[in-house]
Structure formats: structure tokens, C-alpha cells
Structure 1
């Protein structure tokens, strides 16, 4: 699917950097210069995902987020907040309103692409299930758990067993399995594989790694297995995703 991403950012340099990065990764990209412009663009183009700054003139990103998540038409639209504001209140307020992800500026291309890939994959699975309900409390709990899980996997990439990840999260193995199943409908092993593949895809899209390097940095010990898994999951070999810089 040719996903359409809307970038809402008032800083010209950052906006153009984001557009170039996303376009080079195969996304269709539109842009807006503030929240008001962004809200109008959302209604005009109906994007698959929004990447928005917070501090903007005319209308800020949090107000745009409120409009999206309170809309009966667009409440399902994933919104990734990209901002230099890193205080705990701003993060918590963003997630309370309904932000689907939060990336700090200056952003790392791998992290940003990883978050975008995951949000789009999650959104596609939600649409396939027909589950369009939104409960802010559940969304906050889910985001908190998945953020902790992703951090635990990242910190234990070379020893990412169920017991090791569960221990780092102060959970039992069975407790971790149940939580993952509850929030994602996947088993631990399936979620871990998807995490590693998404990480590899983000590395390839960033232009920082070749296929072999992305395989190793994503925790795959066998290049052939990685290539087969990547092609099965994304529908094309990893060599077709490499972005030349």
C-alpha cells in the first residue's frame, strides 16, 4: 500500500527534511505549516498518518490532536507527535489527548521510521478487524506497556528471550505473554519478530546500514533467515528497501 503521510511543521528546514526522508522511503507526503492548515489538509486528503510538531503559530499540535481524536470521522487516524518539548507533563498530556507516538527533536531517523512503520502496521490491523473504538484510558495503558516492552527488547536485543524480557519488566513469563496477547493479539515470539523486522526496515530506510548490518543490529543471527523473514513479512527482499544516501 502507498501510505500517505501528512507532515505538520512550521519550521521550513525540519519540514523539508521530513518530507525528503519519508519520500525516499516510498511514502506519499503532504505538508502543512500549522495545526489549522493541518486540520484542513486532513479533511482534504484523508492521510493514513500525521506527524505533527506541538509548538506552532495559529494552532498548535495539541489542539490539532484534540480535533482529530474528538472527531467521529478521523479519531482512528494515527498521530505521531514530534517535538522539542520533553517535559513529563507535555508527554502525558499528549497521550491523554490521544497521541499514538511521541518522538523527541532532534529526531533520529531510525527511531522515527520505526515508529511510523509500527503505527501504520497497527492501523492496518485495526482496520482489518473493524475495531474503530477509542478509549483514552486503554490507549494510555497500552502505550505505556508497549513503550516499556520495546525498551526492554531494545536493551536486550542479543538476549531477547521471554524470561529475560519479563525479568527486566518485573513480570513473570506467563504474565508478559498474557499482556502482549491482550494488547496486540500476538504471542511474544511473534511480537519480537515483528519488532526486529520493523527495526531492520527502519535501519534500511534511514540509509545508515546495508542488509547485513541491519540484520545484525536487529538481533538476527542468520542472514538467510533474516532475508526470508523480511520478504515474508513485508512482501519484498530487504535489498529493495535500502535507501542510498
Structure 2
């Protein structure tokens, strides 16, 4: 209704007329009709069907459709179809338009609340959704994308680049989908800020653009943009790009974990998110024997808040900071068990555990064997 009225008022001249008629049809199939009409500029007959297509303004005169995202009527049409209804238009240039939405009327028996959803079984919880930050100054466009993404993702909205940057710093979304042309801070400038900050550099960015300017796209890639999508596009294209980038991020987590299993000190790579991890591992190893070294100490030495550290490490490794620190200690302990000839008690204190029993318990959780069994196997004692 909002989109239909918005279009009617937008394209009706001063002193023109806009009206709404509601009609309940009880004959045969019970339906409810909404008519939104105007005396505005009208639409040519050969364009009637196409006004419901996404991004239709790309090949229409400016006077015919709105100059926003080009999806206002497409959204209306999709919502109508979701409710098993129909929408059509009657229009003539210079005389105005009438949009008619017809919806079926359902009768409820009164047993329970209409439209109520089945309760989630006790003890079951939905898996946590990954978060997508949508950045666009066009409300209709954000609404359309949010409506399609909501079933699978937690959607955060920002109205411009500056608003987005504040939300990126605060919320650390899993991925950013942003328009390029925006007030205050454009998409490329936003990408530059995100990728220049070690706390946010790992976040993938997709930019949406109506321009096929290769120089602009090259600038974006140089600033760290992960992908571009040129309008018009189908939602399925965007969804597949989002999924691919998030899957790549998951593989990056696995890569970090594998490298750490091999040797914490071998993390010598250059992208900013990997530099962040290299710095974190180095600080932990410098304090490996310090039993009181904590997450607060790590965040202070990395000059970021504890919350930011938590989100960053979870995003890159899938582990919390405390578990991450303990994992480094255990991996160093495993190396010493294999190479040093030290006793298990000496190794436990060397890698920052208060007592050997705690070290042994966590070691078995990590490696499924006791430290003594691990040491015997690695040094060949179990073969004697």
C-alpha cells in the first residue's frame, strides 16, 4: 500500500487527484480488492507489465518510474504473490493510472490465534545466524534486500557510509553489502576504512553499483573490496556471492587453526587479518610462562577492547580468546613434550599452567591422549 500510494503522489501533478477504493467480493471466491488510482502522468500500454520488474528504470524515461532503486513496484508485486494475490495496472499517458491488488480472504475457525507459528520444541534453539550489514540510502532497496535475507541472516541496516562505519566498529558484522554512491561516505571510502583497521579488516565487502566503470571498480579492489555486483541483478546472484565469501572466511579460520597446530611461530604471512593473528600469537608466546596472563592483558597489549578482541578472534579462528590462548599454550607444550626432554611438570609450568594436573586435563581434551602417552609416542618410547 505504501509503495502504491508513494508512486501515485509522486507522479500526480499539483491539484491532481489520488484515491483509494476498498472492495469485498463475496460472490464465488471471496476476495478483497484495493485500488489505488491517480490522475498523474500515466504509463504507456506497452510498459504495463514491465513496471513490476526490478530495476525497470534502467531502460525507461525518468518521467515514468521512480528514480530510486527501481524496485518499489517489484516489492509490492512480490508481497502480493506471497499472499496468493494478483496485481495489475490500467493506465494511459496523460490521464493517470489505477493499480488493483486482489487478495483471497481466508476464514478462521476461531481455534487458536490466526497466523500463529508453531512453538519451538523445548530444549531446541535456532543456530546463530551470521550477520549482514546492508548499506544504502534508499529505504525501498534496503527493505527489499532485508526481506529476502532475513530467513538466513541477521540483517543490520545503515543509511549511509558514515552510519555504516559506526555500526561496523560497534557490531563487527560477518559481511558488508553496500551501495557505492552514498552521502557522507561512499562505498569505496567505507571499504578503505574497514580494511585499514586491524579490528575489521577481515570483514568481506560486496559493493553494488549501477555503473560499469572499470576504473572505479579497480579503485575499489585496491581498497580491499572483495566483490562487485552491477545493477540490475537478481537476489539469487547476491545471495550466492554472500555465501561464497562467508564460506571463504570459514576456510580462512580452518587455515589459521591448521597453521597453529603445526607451529604457533610459523604464522608469518602478510594480509592485515593474518598480521593481526601473527601479533596475537607473538604476544601470547612472549608471555607463555606467565600463569596470570589473561585476555585483558592480550587486549591491552594489542590496543583494542576486550569485546573487539573477542569478535575478531572468533571471526578468524572460531574460538574465544581464552580458548585461543590456552590452545597456544597446549601446542607449545606438545612441542616441548616432543623435543625438549623436560618433565611433564616442568613443561606445564613452562607454558603457563598453575599445576601439572590442569595441564594434563586440557591436554587430553585437545589431543585425546595424556601428555605422558603423547611424549612416549613422539619420542619412540612406546616402541621399546
| Category of TM-score, reference length = shorter chain | 0.5 to 0.7
RMSD (Å) for aligned C-alpha atoms: 1.6
> 1:182-226 CA distances to partner (integer Å, 9 max, x unpaired)?
xxxxxxxxxxxxxxxxxxxxxxxxxxxxxxxxxxxxxxxxxxxxx
Asked whether 1:105 is paired with 2:234, we answer no
**How far apart, in 2, do the equivalents of 1:34 and 1:18 lie?**
16
CA 1:134 to 1:109, structure 2 compared with 1: closer, same or farther past 3 Å?
same
- TM-score normalised to structure 1 length: 0.52
Aligned to 1:41: 167
Aligned to 2:204: 78
Conserved? CA contact 1:75–1:134, under 8 Å: no
**How far apart, in 2, do the equivalents of 1:125 and 1:133 lie?**
17
CA 1:109 to 1:72, structure 2 compared with 1: closer, same or farther past 3 Å?
same
Query: Whose strand proportion is higher, 1 or 2?
Result: 2
Aligned to 1:4: 131
**Tell me, what secondary structure is at the counterpart of 1:126?**
helix
Aligned to 1:169: none
Question: How far apart are residue 133 of structure 1 and its match?
Answer: 4.3
Q: Pick from 124, 137, 146 the counterpart of residue 19 of structure 1.
A: 146
**How far apart, in 2, do the equivalents of 1:133 and 1:41 lie?**
27
**How far apart, in 2, do the equivalents of 1:94 and 1:103 lie?**
12
**How far apart, in 2, do the equivalents of 1:102 and 1:134 lie?**
20
Asked whether 1:52 is paired with 2:189, we answer no
Question: How far apart are residue 107 of structure 1 and its match?
Answer: 2.0
Matches within 5 A, 1:136-147: none
Unaligned segments of structure 1, at least 5 residues: 136-245
**Tell me, what secondary structure is at the counterpart of 2:202?**
coil
**How far apart, in 1, do the equivalents of 2:172 and 2:198 lie?**
14
**How far apart, in 2, do the equivalents of 1:38 and 1:15 lie?**
13
**Tell me, what secondary structure is at the counterpart of 1:64?**
helix
Aligned to 1:134: 271
> 1:153-192 CA distances to partner (integer Å, 9 max, x unpaired)?
xxxxxxxxxxxxxxxxxxxxxxxxxxxxxxxxxxxxxxxx
Q: Pick from 216, 220, 239 the counterpart of residue 94 of structure 1.
A: 220
Asked whether 1:28 is paired with 2:154, we answer yes
**How far apart, in 1, do the equivalents of 2:252 and 2:202 lie?**
9
Conserved? CA contact 1:7–1:52, under 8 Å: yes
**How far apart, in 2, do the equivalents of 1:4 and 1:125 lie?**
18
Conserved? CA contact 1:34–1:57, under 8 Å: yes
Query: Whose helix proportion is higher, 1 or 2?
Result: 1
Larger radius of gyration: 2
Name segments (4+ residues, structure 1) moved above 6 Å: none
- TM-score normalised to structure 2 length: 0.34
Conserved? CA contact 1:51–1:80, under 8 Å: yes
**How far apart, in 2, do the equivalents of 1:75 and 1:45 lie?**
14
Unaligned segments of structure 2, at least 5 residues: 1-127, 257-266, 273-384
Higher relative contact order (CA 8 A, sep 6+): 1
Conserved? CA contact 1:76–1:134, under 8 Å: no
**Tell me, what secondary structure is at the counterpart of 1:102?**
strand
Aligned to 1:203: none
> 1:80-131 CA distances to partner (integer Å, 9 max, x unpaired)?
1111121111111111111111111122111111100000000111122228
